[in-house]
Amino acid sequence: MLEEALHELERRLGVRPGDGLQLAAASALVRLPFDPGWPLLILGDAVAAPASGSALAFDAPVLPGRHARPPEVPAILGALYPADHPVHGLLGAPDAIVGGLHGAPLASGAWYVPPLRDEANLASPHGLPWLAARLRAPDGCPWDREQTHQSLRRHLLEEAYEVYDALEAGSTPALADELGDLLLQVVLHAEYAAEAGVFDLSDVYRSIMAKIVRRHPHVFGELEVASVGEVIRNWETIKAGERAQAAAAGEPPRHARDELMPEAFAGLSRSLPALAYAQEIQERAASLGYDWPDVEGVIDKLEEEAVELLSAETAEERREELGDLLLVIVNLGRKLGIDAEAALRAASAKFAGRFARVERLAAGRRLDEMTFEELDELWVAAKREEGTP
């Protein structure tokens, strides 16, 4: 019956297997990485099974766009194609559109789904690389054509922080939008490198896939682990081995190396926010055994640093002692299982929200003309509105 479907497809629509035709059994569609930008022939299970046995169905993770519940063909196609996209029935199956497939009998027959135009292939991982290249084409966008790795650095940081902000609200459509903006930055940098002949997006995929597989021998190998801590120790050991192997092969370091930077901190970006950087270096030091045995030791150190700050006499001494105090505060957060960066962001957001209440409670009065006592009264009133004692 597969041969009959292919013959009818060529006779009616002029499509041949050599045109890049993708074949998929209806029951296996949820786990097949087909590209909507290429022609797709879906075989009802009654058609696919006699032709190929279980060859079209295999055990694999559910792919993007296939998380519908239940994972049926209409829902899968609806996530990847426009609702009005045509679907041509074969072997007696009726013609339809993607949005009209719900309730259609899909166990028998076959369906041909024409490819999407490049600019309409919105939900495929193949669409974004095409978009980046199109923007950079001679007849593309003048602004995009002028951009470089360096000029986009600011945008990369901005998009990363916007993702961070969206994460505060949880898994929402806004998070999907911000993740898309960040993903575009990755794809654009890969496109610039491809134009220069250095690497392309496939190298990015290969690098991260190989790294994660290599650093998870307890998942992809025979290693057995008993705890998360053991996983982390193995990860750091494997990373150290990778660096040693690269050095032995004469490869240049991937990050500029400061002679004063310990090997244990190698690979850390100096562009990290200061609190995140402080927490990371202290986590790495702790993983090597340099850590207070309990939180009381950190609290004692905190009190010691506070005294030293108050005793400092010069501006330089105060700056240094304040830095030491902040470092200990970050370490205290680490010992308590608190992300210092997230905690300070939350506290800053609370402060900003409360100050907005103060502005409203001022009822048109200029804040800069009020005394501290008057402002503090408004602050207390704002706290009462929040229900904060």
327/314 same-domain check: yes
333/350 same-domain check: no
10/94 same-domain check: yes
338: helix, coil or strand? coil
Per-residue model confidence (pLDDT) at position 51? 47
- 66 vs 295, more confident: 295
Per-residue model confidence (pLDDT) at position 48? 65
Inside any domain, residue 45: yes
Token digits for 347? Answer: 């506290």
Instruction: Round to whole Å and give the CA distance between 239 and 232.
Output: 11
Inside any domain, residue 233: no
176/110 same-domain check: no
- 71 vs 344, more confident: 344
Which domain-ending residue is among 117, 136, 168? Answer: 117
Q: Looking at residues 103-112, what average pLDDT do you find? A: 75
Query: Total structural domains in the chain?
Result: 4
Per-residue model confidence (pLDDT) at position 54? 43
Inside any domain, residue 174: yes
12/112 same-domain check: yes
157/199 same-domain check: yes
DSSP string across 174-225: HHHHHHHHHHHHHHHHHHHHHHTTS--HHHHHHHHHHHHHHT-HHHHSS---
Tens-digit pLDDT profile for residues 26-68: 888 877 888 999 999 998 876 766 444 444 444 555 666 666 5
Over pLDDT 90: what percentage of the chain? Answer: 58
133/103 same-domain check: no
Instruction: Round to whole Å and give the CA distance between 71 and 67.
Output: 6
Q: What is the CATH number of the domain that holds 192?
A: 1.10.287.1080
58/162 same-domain check: no
Whole-Å CA distances, 341 to 30, 168, 232, 326: 39, 13, 21, 12
Inside any domain, residue 227: no
Q: Is 70 exceeded by the pLDDT of residue 103? A: no
- % helix / strand / coil in the chain, to the nearest 5? 60, 5, 35
Q: Which domain holds residue 367?
A: 342-386
Tens-digit pLDDT profile for residues 115-125: 999 999 998 88
Ranked by mean pLDDT, which of 129-138, 262-271, 344-353 comes out on top? 129-138
296/318 same-domain check: yes
Tens-digit pLDDT profile for residues 257-278: 555 667 777 777 777 888 988 9
Q: Is 80 exceeded by the pLDDT of residue 147? A: yes
Tens-digit pLDDT profile for residues 276-285: 889 999 988 9
46/91 same-domain check: yes
Token digits for 1? Answer: 């019956």
26/66 same-domain check: yes
Inside any domain, residue 48: yes
Inside any domain, residue 328: yes
357: helix, coil or strand? helix
Instruction: Round to whole Å and give the CA distance between 47 and 26.
Output: 10
Per-residue model confidence (pLDDT) at position 289? 87
Tens-digit pLDDT profile for residues 65-97: 666 555 578 888 988 999 999 999 999 888 999
Inside any domain, residue 234: no
Tens-digit pLDDT profile for residues 177-211: 999 999 999 999 999 999 999 999 999 999 999 99
Inside any domain, residue 307: yes
Does residue 94 have a cis peptide bond before it, meaning omega lies within 30 degrees of 0?
no
Per-residue model confidence (pLDDT) at position 256? 53
Per-residue model confidence (pLDDT) at position 380? 93
Average pLDDT over the chain, rounded to an integer:
87
286/351 same-domain check: no
Which domain-ending residue is among 117, 138, 157? Answer: 117
Per-residue model confidence (pLDDT) at position 56? 41
